[in-house]
Chain A
């Protein structure tokens, strides 16, 4: 970061302590915003967005400006491109997201190849949480507060427009407002958690905890409790694993999040089989009594 925000560095914490604070905040933020992604079915959009931020980060590194700022500018620009492509007749939003995904990644790779200086591209792609700064932590913390505030004030609007957009419109309200707020929150979150899991793995930390919570509960309010907890757990476990096993933190965090999803899916499948088996046993005994 730039030197004027160095005062935000916490001298009491070593680099590992700072990384721990960041993964906890990023896990909570990714979980809270991930619920929005899962309920509004914006996982593919988020994936495209994570790739779109990559060229912005590379360009910012080349120009020597703030990397989150570069990533944010690229995200906004590519969302605009996606909206434009989405309007082309017979090209749906999935096509737009797909084009955005590859174009963003290609642009980042291109910029890196023509860069006059050597740029550590890997840190943008998979994160480098041990190099996190006080400014990164501050950005994540502020965004977490904003995301919680949006849920508290406008949660009903977000859920209503997600579950029944037509009904929301018929009730005299405009669905573009919650949509715009959602996309802005998703884009800002992708940018804020880049130091932790990078551009490519960001989608894992955003989507997996919320999708895991979605498998386990039948009321979205519990998703808002569970998803951040799973996000934090993934971050902390992944970071500790990276220290013990001496592996990359970003990959470890994304893998733990994916494993949590797999475990939840398995647990639910087993539970459903258990219910079915008990049902079959019940039917069996009735059939036994009535030959």
Chain B
């Protein structure tokens, strides 16, 4: 018996795409149980394609490709929700939907209801459980969708830009939830533009821009040179230094500049917009 825990995700020499030319190539990384891996890269780098590939919604070509395949074993927190605010469902019902892959056509039992209640508790929304989903604030809806992902008891959780648009309280709560999940052995893959948050909770970081640039311990990956390589052609700020590189993509310039700024400044600006 091996003492090292078996990886939840094991991918080597992989390319991802949607039928045509691959969007992201040269991908190789693992995610261990209880580990959080940050997925960092500029817009259009292929982060969402990689997540879609893990879910089986995008195509992949790989030497090794091992991800959880059982029903409900992968949970997803989407970047934005398509849920119509007027749809007549309560928060509790939305969270219970996360149980659907595990249940199939089975009727939910006491343990299922317990898991749904625990998931709502974990994101701190128990008092709002009977509120119509559309009546919750943006941050609360995001937490509700995280609870929906937790309700399937995933081995792997994919979080797509989970910190975007969250206020300080929701941010801290989410960081705490991520730490709790790690301690329970859940593997997490988190896309983010926020390098400080990656440092706060992510053990390792996968840096991509149409191809894999680095995969290693977060502190080793998030160096000036590597981030510069990933965000080539953008002005970025990291560890108090400002980098100005050749601007091939002038139109995206300001967006990345903003996203890589210090959190508080970013949040202030977001609130003023």
Contacts and interface: CB of A to CB of B under 8 A. Distances in A.
A65 B40 CA distance: 66
Contacts of B148: 167
A276 B97 CA distance: 34
Nearest to B160: A170
A169 B90 CA distance: 21
B78 A173 contact: no
B72 A163 contact: no
Contacts of B87: 39, 162-163, 220
Interface of A is mostly: helix
Given A164-B81, A167-B78, A219-B88, A159 B93 contact: yes
Contacts of B159: none
A172 B81 CA distance: 17
Interface in A166-200: 166-167, 169-173
A173 B103 contact: no
B32 interface: no
The residue among B57, B81, B93, B96 with the most chain A CB atoms within 10 A of its own CB is B93
Contact of B72 (A162, A171, A218): A171
A223 interface: yes
A173 B101 contact: yes
A220 B89 contact: yes
B97 A156 contact: yes
A167 B145 CA distance: 10
B88 A220 contact: yes
B210 to A, nearest CB: 23
Contacts, number: 73
A160 B97 contact: yes
Interface residues of B, number: 30
Contacts of B97: 156, 159-160, 163-164, 167
A222 B100 CA distance: 21
B71 interface: yes
A172 B78 contact: no
Contact of A169 (B57, B89, B99): B57
B36 to A, nearest CB: 20
B82 A164 contact: yes
A159 B76 contact: no
B212 interface: no
A173 B152 CA distance: 13
B84 interface: yes
Contact of A167 (B71, B81, B93): B81
The residue among A154, A171, A214, A218 with the most chain B CB atoms within 10 A of its own CB is A171
A286 interface: no
B147 to A, nearest CB: 13
Contacts of A220: 87-89, 93
B57 A163 contact: no
Given A170-B78, A171-B76, A173-B101, A163 B55 contact: no
B132 interface: yes
B105 interface: yes
Contacts of A172: 55-56, 71-72, 74, 101
Interface string B62-88: 000000000110101010011110011
A7 interface: no
A218 B132 contact: yes
Interface in A148-165: 153-154, 156-157, 159-160, 162-165
The 8 closest A-B pairs by CB, nearest first: A160-B97, A170-B76, A220-B88, A218-B132, A153-B105, A171-B101, A163-B87, A156-B100
21 contacts: A39-B88, A159-B89, A159-B93, A160-B97, A163-B83, A163-B87, A163-B94, A163-B97, A166-B78, A169-B57, A170-B78, A171-B72, A171-B76, A171-B100, A172-B72, A172-B74, A173-B101, A214-B88, A217-B88, A220-B93, A223-B88
Given A160-B100, A167-B97, A219-B89, 12 more contacts: A157-B105, A159-B89, A167-B78, A167-B81, A169-B57, A170-B57, A172-B55, A172-B71, A173-B101, A218-B132, A222-B88, A223-B88
